[in-house]
Each structure stands twice: as C-alpha cells, then as structure tokens.
C-alpha cells in the first residue's frame, strides 16, 4: 500500500482539486484584505448624507461578497460535508455570484452613462448588455451540478455542459464594453487637457476597468480551453471565485474614485478637475472721506475687468493723495475713490453715489480633490 492510499480523502486530493483549494484560499485572503483596507473609506462614505444608487450598491457588495465566500469556504473545506448535503447546497455559489455580478454590472452601467454626460445611446447599449447578462446567468444556474467528490473533499458546483460557460461570457462582454468606452472617453479628453498615460490612467480609473477585464478574460480561458480529466475534475471553475472577488473589489474602488457627489453616477473626472467655478465679488470704491459712499444708485454702471483694462490710461485721473473726495461735494463730481470715469459715466453719477465694480473670478481646480 502506497502512502497516498493510506491518506484520508480530505488529504489525498487530485492535482486539479488541490490547486482549486489553494486558489480558494488566495481568494479568501484577497476578500479579507479588501474588507479590512476599505473599512475607513466605507465608514466615511456611510456618514455622507443621502443614499444614491451607487452608495447603496457599494454597501450591498461590501457585505454580500465576503459573506458569500465565507459560506462557500465552509462547504469546501469542511471534511464532514456529505454528498447528500452538497446536493441541496451546490447552487448557492452560482446563484449568489450571479447576484454579485449583477450588482457590479449596474455600477458599470450607471458610471459609464454618467461619464458620457447622460448619453442615451450609451445607456441603451449598456442596459441591453446588462439585461442579457441577467437572463443568461439566471438560465445557466439551472445547468450546474454537484461535482462528485469523496466525503471530506468538499462541495463544489460544476457545469453539466461546456456551453454553461456563457454564464461568464455575458458579464465579460459587458465589462469589455465598459472598459472600451471608459478608455475612449479618456483619450478624447486629451484634446482638452493633455496628460501623460500614467496620470490619465490614475485620474480616470482605467487600471480598475482593465483589471476587471483581465480577470474575467482569464476566467473565460479556463472555462473554454482547460480540459478536465474526468467528471470529478473541477478545473473549469478554479478561477471563478477569484474572478467574482476581484470584479467586486475593483468595482467598489470605481465607486470610491467618483469625484463629487454620487448622485446620478457622478461626473467625468475632467469636468471635476478642470471645470471652473465662477464667483462674483462686488467691491465698492470710496474715497478717504467721512461721508458714506456705499450707496446704491438708481441707474448703476457695472465695470468689468476687461472694460477697465481696455480703457486708455488717459481716461482715468489720479487724485492727489491728500485730497478728500466726497460723493456729496458738488465740486468733486468726477473723482470717486481716486478714479474718474468718462464724461458720459460722470453724468450718470448723482450726489450720494458710489461706484461698484463686479469682478468675475474663475477658480480652477487641479487633479487633486479638496475638502470643503
């Protein structure tokens, strides 16, 4: 009797099943790490007022993802699970994963629609892909089976047929289109504000969209290229758990990378970073006089900076430093605060009049976000 034959079934594992268990351990590690790292940002988001759709989806996936894979891990590593119990449980993972992927896909639909300035054509394309995904994943859940393993080797759900892999084709197609549209939007923005590829990637979260696409494409390769040795070989589903966890993790970060409010999916990063906020400030010019000069007129004249800069210097007079100007002094009708307007403007100034200059200021924001 060989040493392998002397081992219990829980330790005497085929190579692919052993790899599956190691990979699930890596998946649980990523899920635990992600839950720990995002805890402070989750708390800050929770304290923000309002409950837009992206915020609700964030907290749902934040709780649902680790809860699902904790249960899956218990079923997979518990050596006392019988095949009878597994027959009642094996659909748990495909159904829960379909729900998790649907939530992540809704985030992509909302976000891509938002960065394209609520374009209806983009919304129609993304919504159609989402509807196809929901239907396909729901149908494919009925074609899973319990992988016939020995007692102590765990409970795993596997496909009955190879075409069941379209379960992952539908979301992969949606994430591919999402990545492509996000990339095109970022490239188009270079005409307005040139950036290096590295800064562009970080500003628009292209690394997040790209990571989701890569992990789902890798999962597709395992589904349609890897050949199982027999019906007990779970090689096709090795990457499925990791694909679901990383898709969720990167989607959570897409939500956190939204600048400004999460209402209606937020806005494109360029509009948040280079958009200017206009502010209007009114300054009342008065001389060094005891008489009040902050008095409104019946027919005020508004000056802009462009008008002031465009006027010849000869049109403005400078009053002596020691001179006292008063809007009530008939002898000093022209000078107001050291500035003398044109003859036409002076005629409109009556006793008790002050000159108000309104300045339009544009404040630009760089790529960094600032706290209010």
Over its length of 372 residues, how does the chain's per-residue pLDDT go in tens digits? 455 566 777 777 788 888 888 989 999 999 999 999 999 999 999 888 889 999 999 999 999 999 999 999 998 888 888 888 888 898 999 999 999 999 999 999 999 999 998 899 999 999 999 999 999 999 999 999 988 888 888 888 989 888 999 999 999 999 999 999 999 999 998 888 888 989 989 888 899 999 999 999 999 988 888 888 877 888 888 899 999 999 999 999 999 988 878 887 778 776 644 443 333 444 444 444 444 444 444 455 554 544 444 444 444 444 444 444 444 444 444 444 444 444 444 444 445 555 556 555 554 444 444 444
Q: Is 295 exposed, middle or buried (0-12, 13-18, 19+ CB in 10 A)?
A: middle
Identify the H or E element spanning 124.
Answer: helix 120-140
The count of other CB atoms within 10 Å of the CB of residue 157 is 23
Statement: the pTM of the whole predicted model exceeds 0.75: no
Give the per-residue pLDDT at 343: 47
The count of other CB atoms within 10 Å of the CB of residue 189 is 21
Instruction: Report how far residue 22's alpha carbon sits from residue 28's, in angstroms, rounded to the nearest whole number.
Output: 10
Instruction: Report how far residue 201's alpha carbon sits from residue 182's, in angstroms, rounded to the nearest whole number.
Output: 10
Give the per-residue pLDDT at 361: 54
Identify the H or E element spanning 113.
Answer: helix 92-115
Domain boundaries, the chain: 7-274, 277-364
The count of other CB atoms within 10 Å of the CB of residue 315 is 12
- Three-class secondary structure of residue 312 per DSSP: coil
The count of other CB atoms within 10 Å of the CB of residue 22 is 11
The count of other CB atoms within 10 Å of the CB of residue 158 is 22
Q: Write the CA distances from 83 to 71, 132, 231, 372, integer angstroms.
A: 17, 33, 15, 58
Give the per-residue pLDDT at 86: 87
Q: Which CATH architecture has domain 7-274?
A: Up-down Bundle (1.20)
Cβ-contact 179, 212 below 8 angstroms: yes
Give the per-residue pLDDT at 5: 60
């Amino acid at each position: 009797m060989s040493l392998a034959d002397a081992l219990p079934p829980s330790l005497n594992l085929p190579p692919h099943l052993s790899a599956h268990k190691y990979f699930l351990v890596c998946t649980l590690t990523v899920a635990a790490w992600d839950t720990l790292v995002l805890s402070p940002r989750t708390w800050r988001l929770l304290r923000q007022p309002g409950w837009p759709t992206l915020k609700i989806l964030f907290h749902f996936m934040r709780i649902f993802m680790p809860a699902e894979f904790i249960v899956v891990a218990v079923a997979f590593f518990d050596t006392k699970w019988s095949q009878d119990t597994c027959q009642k449980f094996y659909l748990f993972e495909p159904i829960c994963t379909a729900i998790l992927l649907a939530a992540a896909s809704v985030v992509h639909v909302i976000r891509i629609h938002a960065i394209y300035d609520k374009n209806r054509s983009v919304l129609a394309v993304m919504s159609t892909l989402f509807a196809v995904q929901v239907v396909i994943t729901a149908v494919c859940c009925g074609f899973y089976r319990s992988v016939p393993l020995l007692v102590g080797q765990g409970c795993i759900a596997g496909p009955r047929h190879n075409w069941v892999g379209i379960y992952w084709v539908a979301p992969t197609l949606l994430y591919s289109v999402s990545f492509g549209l996000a990339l095109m939007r970022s490239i188009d923005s270079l005409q307005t504000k040139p950036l290096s590829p590295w800064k562009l990637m970080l500003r628009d979260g292209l690394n997040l969209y790209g990571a989701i696409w890569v992990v789902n494409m890798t999962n597709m390769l395992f589904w349609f290229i890897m050949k199982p040795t027999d019906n007990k070989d779970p090689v096709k589903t090795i990457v499925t758990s990791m694909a679901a966890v990383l898709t969720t993790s990167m989607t959570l970060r897409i939500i956190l990378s939204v600048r400004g409010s999460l209402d209606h999916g937020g806005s494109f990063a360029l509009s948040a970073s280079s958009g200017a906020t206009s502010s209007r400030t009114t300054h009342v010019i008065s001389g060094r006089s005891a008489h009040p000069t902050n008095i409104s007129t019946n027919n005020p004249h508004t000056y802009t900076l462009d008008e002031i800069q465009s006027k010849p210097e000869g049109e403005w007079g400078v009053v002596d430093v020691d001179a006292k100007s008063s809007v009530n002094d008939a002898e000093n009708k022209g000078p107001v605060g050291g500035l003398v307007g044109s003859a036409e403007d002076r005629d409109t100034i009556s006793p008790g009049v002050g000159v108000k200059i309104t300045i339009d200021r544009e404040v630009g924001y760089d790529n960094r976000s600032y706290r209010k």
